[in-house]
Amino acid sequence: MPGMSLPAPRLAVIHTGGTIASRPSPDGRGLTPQQPPSLPGLEGVTVTDAQPFNLPSPHVTPAHMGQLAALIRDLADTHDGVVVTHGTDTLEETAFALHLLLDVPLPVVLTGSMRHAEEVSWDGPANLLDAAHVALHSSSRGRGPLVVIGGDIFDARTVTKIHTTAVDAFGGYPGPIGRIDREGTRARVHYFAVPEPRATYHPAHLGAKVEILYAYAGWTGEGYAEAAARADGLVIAALGTGNLPAELLPLIRATDKPVVIATRTHAGPVLPVYGYAGGGATLVEAGAIPASFLNAHKARLLLLILLGQGLSREQIAAVFDRDEF
């Protein structure tokens, strides 16, 4: 009807800590999360804030990820988009856990900053505003949780932190799925990929113990037996396409818990192609599960969630094999 204005879009901003909330601590001991950033320059939007915790992201656990998923589910009916501010160190893990746990239709966008509010190159406000625009954009729906940093929009499955200090700290093969740029107050959002259907999971708990072992030249299995005894499942950041020294083969064959083989190489899938002792084909024959293209820490979260849902080793292998994530 002429003269009737559309209701203001409703955005929820959930602050969880990280450098985007950090400042030098008064006791001179270094940066600590203190004050969450405020959202600049977004006209005509109703914003609600939440702060379930205020942590440096190395203190974030799967339990916090579950808490965030529950909060976002609660907000989903009354909001059009959600932004989560988060420390960058484990941001990709929270993004992927939410990707696996959330089946809400509204966009959920994670962001953070690499510089704190008292530095000249403070990147918090721009990242926060970009994330807000992306979260309220209709093309962002149906893509699962997204990560927005430095104007790049990433898929939670592939995004990874690639630099410890640079402002453009995020990447990951095959790169961003979209881009946000601002022209004055107008946001221009472009996607280079179409939304894809994805599986989500409803674990009874997030308390399964999954440990990661990191392979290296000359590893003869140090630490493997201890980890296999105390954990519910293992992930190995293996070599290349998912290969290990020969000594690991009998250890994996003797393990009845799920052992997922990821790669310490920064891009590409795990493929069981090599037939020498410890080669990927022999590890799979011994019962190991290839992680597809998930990095070790994301494969760990998927395994932890599948264990929390009570899946058997065979069912878990099928999820990884069919890329059901």
Ligand X SMILES: NC(=O)C[C@H](N)C(=O)O
Q: Which residues bind ligand X (CB under 6 A)?
A: 18-19, 56-57, 87-89, 112, 114
Going 132 to 46 to 105 to 184, the CA torsion angle's sign is negative
Q: Is 200 a catalytic residue?
A: no
| Comparison of 87 and 203: residue with beta carbon closer to ligand X | 87
Nearer to ligand X, 88 or 282 (CB): 88
Catalytic residue of the set 16, 32, 48, 88: 88
Instruction: Say how far apart CA 178 and CA 125 lie, in whole Å.
Output: 20
| Least distance CB 135 / ligand X (angstroms) | 19
- In this structure, are strands 170-171 and 289-290 parallel, antiparallel, or unpaired? unpaired
Which residue has the CB atom at the shortest distance from ligand X? 87
Closer to ligand X by Cβ: residue 87 or 176: 87
- Using left for φ > 0, alpha for ψ between -120 and 50, and beta otherwise, residue 306 falls in alpha
Q: Please report which helix (H) or strand (E) contains residue 238, including its range.
A: strand 233-238
In angstroms, give the least distance from the CB of 318 to ligand X.
Answer: 34
Q: 292 labelled as ligand-binding?
A: no
Q: Is 57 annotated as a binding residue?
A: yes
Tell me how far, at minimum, the Cβ of 116 lies from ligand X, in Å. 8
CB under 8 Å to 113, separation ≥6 — which residues?
18, 19, 20, 37, 88, 122, 123, 124, 127
Is 16 marked active-site? no
Does the annotation list 88 as a binding residue? yes
Minimum CB distance to ligand X, residue 19 (Å): 3
Contacts (Cβ under 8 Å, ≥6 apart) of 196: 143
Residue listed under structure tokens 């990242």: 127
Phi-psi region of 234 (alpha: psi -120 to 50; beta: other; left: phi over 0): beta
**Based on C-alpha coordinates, what's the Rg of the chain?**
21
Active site members = 19, 88
Annotated binding-site residue numbers for substrate: 57, 88-89
